[in-house]
Amino acid sequence: MRSARISTNRGEFHVDLLPETAPRAVSNFSGLAMANFYDGVVFHRVVPGFVVQTGCPRGDGFGGPGWTIPDEVSAVPYVEGAVGMARGDWDTGGSQWFVTTSPQPHLVGDYTLFGQVTYGMEVVLTLEQGDQVLDVIIE
């Protein structure tokens, strides 16, 4: 199974990626990570009890990599630690992604779920707006 080791200024968390559920999203995220796209990017959106979101190179939620990918929705539940592609409208995901900080059943069928935090959820729960991704290593 492919995984991501995500280092932040508050610590590290690990994500099991789900290529069988969202092959395009996993490939896109992995490619951006291997190109160091996420290094230094901030968590620009933090909603307690809902999500922490990052992946915007501008730091304001309006940036991306210069392309979009189609949604890959599934019936996989959004439990605590689910990792999904953020988007403004259907098929507009690019580089922004979020981690749920509690179960979010209303997201099922609306957003591409492409990973699950397997280690370091306590780190995710401490993240605040402005905290940084230091590095994303794909293993």
What pLDDT score was predicted for residue 119?
99
Q: State the pLDDT at residue 107.
A: 97
Kindly list the distances between the CA atom of residue 49 and the CA atoms of 27, 115, 135, in Å, as whole numbers in the listed order: 28, 19, 25
Residue 56 token pair: 């915007």
Which residues of the chain carry a pLDDT beneath 50? Answer: none
User: Contact, 38 vs 32, CB < 8 A?
Assistant: yes
Residues pairing with 97 in the sheet: 54, 85
No. of H helices and E strands in the chain? Answer: 2, 8
What pTM, to 2 d.p., does this model score?
0.97
The pLDDT assigned to 54 comes to 99
Q: Which pLDDT score is estimated for 85?
A: 98
pLDDT for position 3: 98
CATH topology (fold) of 3-138? Cyclophilin (2.40.100)
